[in-house]
Amino acid sequence: MSCPRRRASSTPRRLGSCNSRLWNTGSPAFAGDDSGARLCLRGKARMSNSKAELRAKALAKRDALSEKKRAAAATKLAKRGLPFKLLPGSIVSGYSPIRSEIDPMPLLRKLAEEGARLALPCVTARGQSLVFRIFHPNDRLMLGPLGIPEPSPAASEVIPDIMLTPLAAFDRLGHRIGYGAGHYDFTFAHLRKTKQIVGIGLAFAAQEIEAVPALSHDVALDYVLTESDVFDFRSSEVAHSLRG
């Protein structure tokens, strides 16, 4: 697979960590004083509430799109393809679309025609890394523990080179809001310890928001593809978009 490595960014990608001895309140959390911890927990709670509100608003916009517009957007993604050269044999993981998610299947079929091997994620448990199993476009899928279609347990397990991920919302720093379970954050963090994996979010343009309140454990994406833009987050500046 020929795809550039993520370059070091001068743009802050994280908003701060609660592991720090100092919290941005103007006063230090001295040893023996738990005020810093309390502030940290309150900060996390506020951020959680903010994410929930942003998620709800973005999903409402996504749900409001007609089936015709959603289908047209999926077709545009497939027609444009990936923003870099894909080497034959690269493993690309997609997802089974649920609710009003943009459908990755047209794009996956095109990538398979270009020589990619396809995989789909399988949920094992909340807060655990996803498992990926080989998938062919005509395969019969089974319902997983969350009611999402998955490959059979008999299908071979693989580690993807490229992960196409659904999302609720995204911003121009590459941060995403998922559905709250943390599956993709855990998966990226786990798999990237041993392998360079390109993370690509698929979304509708309506799901872009001004800023995602990101924590230190949140994983930034390398790209987001919408029906109207390609956002590249690997550069040293705020993401640039390539109209397509």
Residue % of the chain over a pLDDT of 70? 75
Number of other residues whose CB lies within 10 A of the CB of residue 85: 11
Q: Which of 8-12, 46-50, 236-240 has the lowest mean pLDDT?
A: 8-12
Residue % of the chain over a pLDDT of 90? 60
Q: Which residues 6+ apart lie within 8 Å of 145 measured at CB?
A: 123
Q: Which residues 6+ apart lie within 8 Å of 240 measured at CB?
A: 231, 232
- The partner residues of 68 in beta bridges, in order of sequence, read none
State how far the Cα of 151 lies from the Cα of 103, in Å rounded to an integer: 17
Fill in the DSSP letter of residue 135.
-
What class does CATH assign to 35-243? alpha beta
Q: Give backbone dihedrals phi and psi of 41, rounded to 5 degrees, phi first.
A: -65, -40
Over the stretch 130-184, which tens digit does the pLDDT of each residue have? 999 999 998 999 999 888 999 999 999 999 999 999 999 999 999 999 988 788 9
Is the pLDDT at 187 greater than 70, yes or no?
A: yes
Q: Is 165 exposed, middle or buried (0-12, 13-18, 19+ CB in 10 A)?
A: buried
* b/e sequence 112-121, b meaning 16+ C-beta within 10 Å: eeeebbbbbb
- The partner residues of 92 in beta bridges, in order of sequence, read 118, 162
